[in-house]
Homo-oligomer: A and B are copies of this chain.
């Protein structure tokens, strides 16, 4: 059977779940355990990637430079990866020092319809001789042909693999199958999948991905990540091995690493809340739940109706101002209906 390349963003996506407060000691402990387990790629950083620490997005407890130094020191066999969103991450301020610090893999990410912004960052990382993946976030918001077109742009810029993210945990397995097949048909580089568990489908979706020919999968220890969490890494690897896929990972040592993550990194293990489900169904960014609750209260409407309406309007991160507008519209409409 084929080999699946596992990339572990526990120390990056997990940082969302603790408001970017992972410490150098936590990074060191988990990197050592992950390395022991034979995890091929370990990604570290602020939840939104290198350079994203800020008042608006949340300030990292551990600065990028320190986190990369500690991770590099404790990863003997594993490759060190970073998540790079152009706009948050600049080449000079963030990418140059990260690569100088020994990053092996640069994953350059954009919203699913904005691949254009990744060209310079991908180019720079390639020029420095690092492995580079293109990453399309919130991929459910692009029609499949658009997703393929955006992916092809990243390939043309030099990306050596393409990972598409189910950032809102919206997909069911057949959605993943369809996208992997389309991406494989449209690209000449490997395809990867990054799942979230809002609808309880993260592992099943990842299996659908590899069965459709994806060869890279992301997963986090205990699903460590915002909201309902990511694909639970140790469950994913157990199921892959049972199905005959190879990962090169030692399952017992991976379970040890996951136990360590639960004890030493996490406040709570992610579970699927009612808000997570609504977020997954509506395809809206989970992090909207607090402002949605506030606006719903203010206008006397159901926050779940606000989520679904935001989904219909295809609202994305950065458009928080629309939440008030939607809540107010719903309130007006419901009064009109009552009159």
- Which residues on A are within 8 Å of B, measured CB to CB? 172-173, 197, 199-204, 207, 222, 232, 234-236, 238-239, 242-243, 252, 255-256, 258-259, 262, 269-274, 277-278, 280-281, 302, 304
A277 and B200 contact, Cβ closer than 8 Å, known pairs A172-B242, A271-B271 = no
Closest to A170 in B: B242
Tell whether, in the assembled complex, residue A234 and residue B277 are in contact, meaning their CB atoms are under 8 Å apart: yes
Across-interface contacts of A243 in B (CB, < 8 A): 172
- In the bound complex, do residue B255 and residue A277 qualify as a contact, i.e. CB atoms below 8 Å apart? yes
Question: Can you add 18 more A-B contacts, CB < 8 Å, to A172-B207, A200-B232, A203-B204?
Answer: A172-B239, A173-B204, A200-B202, A200-B235, A200-B236, A201-B203, A201-B204, A201-B239, A222-B272, A235-B277, A238-B277, A238-B281, A252-B304, A255-B277, A255-B278, A256-B274, A259-B274, A270-B271
| Docked pose: A304 CA to B243 CA in angstroms | 19
CB distance from A276 to the nearest CB of B (A): 9
**With A202-B200, A203-B200, A204-B201 as contacts: A235 and B304 at CB distance below 8 Å:** no
Cβ contact of A304, chosen from B200, B255, B277, cutoff 8 A: B255
CA–CA, A232 to B273, complex, Å? 10
Q: How far is the CB of A256 from chain B (nearest CB, A)?
A: 8
CB-CB < 8 A to A280: which residues of B? 238
* A203 / chain B contacts, CB cutoff of 8 Å: 199-201, 204
Chain B residues whose C-beta falls within 8 Å of the C-beta of A259 in the assembled complex: 274
Contacts of A270 in B (CB 8 A): 271
CA distance A202 to B232 in the complex (A): 14
Question: Which of B199, B242, B258, B262 is within 8 Å of A238, CB to CB?
Answer: B199
User: What distance in Å separates the Cβ of A218 from its nearest Cβ neighbour in chain B?
Assistant: 15
- For A258, what are the chain B residues with a Cβ–Cβ distance below 8 Å? 274
Q: Min CB distance, A313 to chain B, in Å?
A: 19
Closest to A255 in B: B274
Is the pair A302, B252 in contact by a Cβ cutoff of 8 Å?
yes
Residues of chain B within 8 A (CB-CB) of A281 are 238, 242
Flag if A200 contacts B239 (CB, 8 Å).
yes
Interface centre among A234, A235, A258 (most CB of B within 10 A): A235
Q: What is the CA–CA distance of A258 and B274 in the complex, to the nearest angstrom? A: 8
In the assembled complex, which residues on chain B have CB atoms less than 8 Å from the CB atom of A234?
Answer: 274, 277
In the docked arrangement, what's the CA distance between A278 and B259, Å?
13
Report B-chain residues with C-beta under 8 Å of the C-beta of A274. 234, 255-256, 258-259
Chain B neighbourhood of A199, CB < 8 A: 203, 235, 238-239
* Nearest chain B CB to A209 CB, angstrom units: 13
Residues of B within 8 A of A172 (CB): 207, 239, 242-243
Is the CB–CB distance between B272 and A235 below 8 Å? yes
List B contacts of A271 (CB < 8 A): 222, 269-271
CA A235 to CA B269, docked complex, whole Å: 18
The CA-CA distance from A238 to B202 in the complex, in Å, is 15
The complex places the Cα of A271 from the Cα of B274 at a distance, in Å, of: 16
Which residues on B sit within 8 Å (CB–CB) of A204?
173, 200-201, 203-204
Minimum-distance CB pairs A-B, first 9: A204-B204, A200-B203, A255-B274, A269-B271, A200-B235, A238-B277, A259-B274, A199-B239, A235-B272
